[in-house]
C-alpha cells in the first residue's frame, strides 16, 4: 500500500508509526512544512516551548521519566544550534532522544543561506548518529533507523536534519520502510556465557565485593534483576549520581552515592573493596577521583553495553559486553548454580562497612547566620512527596543535596544532568517528565542560577496545563562555584553573587516573576513555613507552583573529595577527614 504524500507528511506519519505521541518544539522557516501536517495529527501532541533548549531538555526529561524516546523539533540555524546543549547533555547521559531539525533548501546548502547552519557537522561529536536528508524518499527509512539507533544498544541522541525541499517534495510513502539504511549498526546485547561464568567465579572468590551501579542499569530497566542479584550475594552496593533509584535507598545494603560528594561508606567501600562488580557505570572522574589510587586493591568486573567503555579508564579483569538486564539475570543464575545453596559469607567485610555507616552517616548542620538550611528544605520535599514522586534537579549544590537527602526507591524518579552538568536542566526536564507521567508529582529542584537560565518554560507549563512544582533553593549565588571559592580560592568570591536573596536587590524577584508566568508563587524564609508551602504546592494542580526558598549561602556540600585527589582523602566535613582504624 503506497500513498502519495509530502516529505513533511512522511515525517509526521513516520513518527506516528514509530509510536511517538509527544514532541517538544518551536517552528521556524525551514521546518514550516512539517508543522503544517503536525497540526492535523491526532496521535501526536506538540508542546510549543519558548526556547529550543527547553524543547531538548523536555525531551530528555520525558525520556528519562518514562524510559521512552524523547523527541524535539527545531528549525534551521539558530533553532538547531539552540538544541546543541541538550543534545550534548543527552549524549553524555545516554538519553534516547530524536532531534528533528529543518534545513535550508538542498540547493542552498553551503551558500551561507539565511538561517543556515551545518547542524550535522556541529553535532557530530555529540550525537550517537546523525542524518542529513535531501530526498523525500529517504524520510521513512531514515526516521525508522534514527529511532532504532537512539533507543537500542547504549541509548543516545540522534539528529535528523531535513532540507526544506525534501519536506515539500511528494513521493510514494509506504510503511514499514524496506531499505536498511545503517548496515553498520549492530549493538551487542547478549553476553558471552564464559565471561558470565568467570564473573561468578570471581565474585565467589572475593571477600570484599561491592556492587558499583551506574545509570546503565536504569536505562536498561534492570532494577528488578539488580535487586535479585544484590539479595543473592548480600554485597554492599552504591548507586552513582546517574543511578539513584536503581536500588532502594531504604535497603541496608545500599551505602548511598559514591564519588566527589558521595557518602563515606560508599567512597571508602569502593576504595577498600577487593572486587568491583561494575554494572552500567563508566568510572567517571567524579566517581574515581585520582584514577591511579582508585580502588587499588580491587579486581574489576565491568558490565557495559558499550564495548568502548570497558577498559577506557580502568582495566577490567572480567569484561562483559551486553545489556545490563540480560547480563545481571544471567549472572544471578550462574551464581545460584555455582553456590548450590551454600551461603556466600562476607560478614567480616560487613563488619567494616557497618562501622563506617555508623560513624559517618550523611548529615548537615544548621547555619550560623540562622538562615534556612538548604538540605533541610530538600529533605522535607522528599519526605512529604515520597518515593513515587519524580525529582528533576539543576546543576550545583542543590543537585548534590537532592541526590543525598531525598530517598529514592524507584528507577526513573531522579532526573539530572550528570555527565554534562548542564545548568538550566531542571525546569524543562520536569516539564517533559510531567507530560510523560501526568499522574505523578513532579518537582524541579533548582538553584537561583539554574532557574534563570530556562525559567521561560514556566509559560509553556502554564499555557499547556503542565502543573510542575519548582523549588528554588535560593542562596543568592552560584553556590557550588562559591563553595570552591570558599575552599580553594581564599574566599575571594569572584562573580558568584546573583543578588536574588532577601537582603539584596532581589533581581529578579522570583515570586513576582513566577506570578507573571501564571504560577502560584510562594516565598519561604523560615523553617516553620517550609512544610506548609510544600503541602500547598502538592495540593495545587491547576497551575505550576514555584516556591522561592531563601536559604543560607554558607551551606556546603559534604562529604567532599577535592577534584583530582585520591578518594582516600575524602573529607566528611570541612577539615575533617575520617579517622581510619589501624591498618585501614
Question: Using CB under 8 A as the criterion, which residues of the chain lie in contact with other proteins when the complex forms?
Answer: 120-121, 124-125, 128-129, 132, 149, 182-185, 306-308, 311-312
Helix, strand and coil content of the chain, in percent to the nearest 5, comes to 40, 15, 40
Residues 396, 402, 405, 411: is their CA dihedral positive or negative? negative
**CA 450, CA 437: separation in Å to the nearest integer?**
23
Contact between 259 and 369 under an 8 Å Cβ cutoff? The reply is no
Minimum CB distance to other proteins smaller for 181 or for 339 = 181
Which among 505, 539, 504 is positioned nearest to 520, based on CA atoms? 539
The helix/strand/coil state of 561 is coil
| Preceding peptide of 559 cis, ω within 30° | yes
Angle at 47 between CA 74 and CA 402, to 5 degrees: 95
Kindly state the cell numbers that stand for 570: 575524602
52 labelled catalytic: yes
Contact between 140 and 175 under an 8 Å Cβ cutoff? The reply is yes
Kindly state the cell numbers that stand for 404: 543525598
Of residues 115, 197, 338, 456, which has the active-site annotation?
A: 115
At residue 462, φ and ψ (nearest 5 deg) are -65, -50
- Which residues touch 217 (CB under 8 Å, ≥6 apart)? 223, 226, 243, 246, 279, 280, 324, 328, 411
Minimum CB distance to other proteins smaller for 32 or for 108 = 108
Minimum CB distance to other proteins smaller for 311 or for 552 = 311
Query: Closest distance between other proteins and the C-beta of residue 184, in Å?
Result: 5
Of residues 52, 309, 334, 379, which has the active-site annotation?
A: 52
Query: Closest distance between other proteins and the C-beta of residue 119, in Å?
Result: 12
Minimum CB distance to other proteins smaller for 127 or for 253 = 127
Minimum CB distance to other proteins smaller for 307 or for 387 = 307
Minimum CB distance to other proteins smaller for 182 or for 571 = 182
Half-sphere exposure of 54 (CA within 13 A, CB side): 21
Of residues 164, 208, 325, 371, which has the active-site annotation?
A: 164
Minimum CB distance to other proteins smaller for 101 or for 454 = 101
Query: Closest distance between other proteins and the C-beta of residue 364, in Å?
Result: 40
Contact between 47 and 1 under an 8 Å Cβ cutoff? The reply is no
480 labelled catalytic: yes
556 labelled catalytic: no
Minimum CB distance to other proteins smaller for 158 or for 356 = 158
Query: Closest distance between other proteins and the C-beta of residue 177, in Å?
Result: 17
| Preceding peptide of 508 cis, ω within 30° | yes
Which among 90, 82, 87 is positioned nearest to 64, based on CA atoms? 90
**CA 396, CA 269: separation in Å to the nearest integer?**
25
Judging by beta carbons within 10 Å of its beta carbon (0-12, 13-18, 19+), is residue 562 exposed, middle or buried?
Answer: middle
Minimum CB distance to other proteins smaller for 68 or for 312 = 312
Of residues 257, 480, 556, 560, which has the active-site annotation?
A: 480
Query: Closest distance between other proteins and the C-beta of residue 293, in Å?
Result: 18
**CA 121, CA 468: separation in Å to the nearest integer?**
35
Query: Closest distance between other proteins and the C-beta of residue 311, in Å?
Result: 6
Query: Closest distance between other proteins and the C-beta of residue 152, in Å?
Result: 12
Query: Closest distance between other proteins and the C-beta of residue 124, in Å?
Result: 6
Kindly state the cell numbers that stand for 81: 544550534
Instruction: Show the beta-strand stretches assigned E in 515-560.
Output: 520-524, 545-550
Minimum CB distance to other proteins smaller for 59 or for 149 = 149
Query: Closest distance between other proteins and the C-beta of residue 167, in Å?
Result: 19
Which among 428, 425, 310, 442 is positioned nearest to 58, based on CA atoms? 428
Contact between 89 and 417 under an 8 Å Cβ cutoff? The reply is yes
207 labelled catalytic: no
**CA 233, CA 395: separation in Å to the nearest integer?**
35
**CA 67, CA 44: separation in Å to the nearest integer?**
18
Query: Closest distance between other proteins and the C-beta of residue 110, in Å?
Result: 11
164 labelled catalytic: yes
At residue 73, φ and ψ (nearest 5 deg) are -130, 140
The helix/strand/coil state of 342 is coil
Stated as kind and residue range, the H or E segment containing 130 is strand 129-133
Of residues 3, 43, 114, 348, which has the active-site annotation?
A: 114
Residue tagged 510549543 (cell numbers): 48
Q: Which residues are catalytic?
A: 52, 114-115, 164, 480
Amino acid at each position: 500500500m503506497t500513498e502519495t504524500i509530502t516529505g513533511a507528511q512522511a515525517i509526521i506519519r513516520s513518527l506516528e508509526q514509530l509510536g511517538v505521541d509527544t514532541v517538544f518544539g518551536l517552528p521556524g522557516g525551514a521546518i514550516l512544512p512539517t508543522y503544517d501536517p503536525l497540526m492535523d495529527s491526532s496521535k501526536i501532541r506538540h508542546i510549543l516551548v519558548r526556547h529550543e533548549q527547553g524543547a531538548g531538555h523536555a525531551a530528555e526529561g520525558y525520556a528519562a521519566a518514562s524510559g521512552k524516546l524523547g523527541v524535539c523539533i527545531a528549525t534551521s540555524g539558530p533553532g538547531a544550534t539552540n538544541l546543541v546543549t541538550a543534545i550534548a547533555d543527552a549524549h553524555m547521559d545516554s538519553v534516547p532522544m530524536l532531534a528533528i531539525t529543518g534545513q535550508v533548501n538542498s540547493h542552498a546548502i553551503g551558500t551561507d543561506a539565511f538561517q543556515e547552519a551545518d547542524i550535522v557537522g556541529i553535532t557530530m561529536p555529540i550525537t550517537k548518529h546523525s542524518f542529513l536528508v535531501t530526498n523525500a524518499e529517504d524520510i521513512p527509512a531514515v526516521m525508522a533507523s534514527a529511532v532504532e539507533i537512539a533507543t537500542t544498544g547504549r541509548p543516545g541522541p540522534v539528529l535528523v536534519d531535513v532540507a526544506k525541499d525534501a519536506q515539500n517534495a511528494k513521493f510514494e510513502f509506504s510503511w514499514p520502510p524496506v531499505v536498511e539504511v545503517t548496515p553498520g549498526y549492530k549493538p551487542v546485547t547478549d553476553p558471552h556465557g564464559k565471561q558470565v561464568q568467570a564473573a561468578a567465579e570471581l565474585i565467589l572468590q572475593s571477600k570484599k565485593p561491592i556492587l558499583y551501579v551506574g545509570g546503565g542499569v536504569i536505562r536498561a530497566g534492570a532494577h528488578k534483576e539488580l535487586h535479585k542479584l544484590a539479595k543473592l550475594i548480600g554485597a554492599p552496593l552504591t548507586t552513582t549520581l546517574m543511578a539513584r533509584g536503581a536500588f532502594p535507598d531504604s535497603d541496608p545494603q545500599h551505602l548511598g552515592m559514591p564519588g566527589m560528594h558521595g557518602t563515606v561508606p560508599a567512597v571508602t567501600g569502593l576504595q577498600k573493596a577487593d572486587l568491583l562488580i561494575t554494572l552500567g557505570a563508566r568510572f567517571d572522574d567524579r566517581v574515581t577521583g585520582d584514577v591511579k589510587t582508585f580502588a587499588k586493591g580491587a579486581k574489576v568486573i565491568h558490565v557495559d553495553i558499550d564495548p568502548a567503555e570497558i577498559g577506557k579508564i580502568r582495566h577490567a579483569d572480567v569484561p562483559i559486553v551486553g545489556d545490563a538486564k540480560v547480563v545481571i539475570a544471567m549472572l544471578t543464575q550462574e551464581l545460584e548454580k555455582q553456590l548450590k545453596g551454600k551461603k556466600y559469607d562476607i560478614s567480616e567485610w560487613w563488619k567494616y562497612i557497618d562501622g563506617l555507616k555508623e560513624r559517618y552517616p550523611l548529615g548537615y548542620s544548621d547555619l550560623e547566620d540562622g538562615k534556612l538550611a538548604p538540605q533541610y528544605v530538600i529533605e522535607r520535599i522528599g519526605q512529604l512527596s515520597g518515593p513515587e514522586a519524580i525529582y528533576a534537579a539543576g546543576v550545583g549544590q542543590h543537585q548534590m543535596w537532592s541526590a543525598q537527602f531525598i530517598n529514592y526507591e524507584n528507577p526513573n524518579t531522579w532526573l539530572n544532568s550528570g555527565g554534562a552538568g548542564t545548568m538550566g536542566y531542571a525546569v524543562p526536564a520536569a516539564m517533559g517528565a510531567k507530560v510523560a507521567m501526568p499522574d505523578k508529582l513532579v518537582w524541579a529542584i533548582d538553584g537561583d542560577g539554574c532557574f534563570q537560565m530556562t525559567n521561560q518554560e514556566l509559560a509553556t507549563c502554564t499555557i499547556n496545563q503542565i502543573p510542575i512544582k519548582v523549588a528554588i533553593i535560593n542562596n543568592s549565588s552560584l553556590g557550588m562555584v562559591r563553595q570552591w571559592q570558599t575552599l580553594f580560592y581564599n574566599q575571594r568570591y569572584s562573580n558568584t553573587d546573583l543578588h536574588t536573596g532577601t537582603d539584596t536587590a532581589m533581581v529578579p524577584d522570583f515570586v513576582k516573576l513566577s506570578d507573571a508566568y501564571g504560577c502560584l508563587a510562594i516565598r519561604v524564609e523560615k523553617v516553620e513555613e517550609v512544610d506548609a508551602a510544600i503541602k500547598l504546592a502538592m495540593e495545587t494542580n491547576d497551575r505550576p507552583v514555584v516556591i522561592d526558598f531563601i536559604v543560607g549561602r554558607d551551606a556546603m556540600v559534604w562529604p567532599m573529595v577535592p577534584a583530582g585527589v585520591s578518594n582516600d582523602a575524602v573529607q566528611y566535613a570541612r577539615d575533617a577527614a575520617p579517622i581510619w582504624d589501624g591498618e585501614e
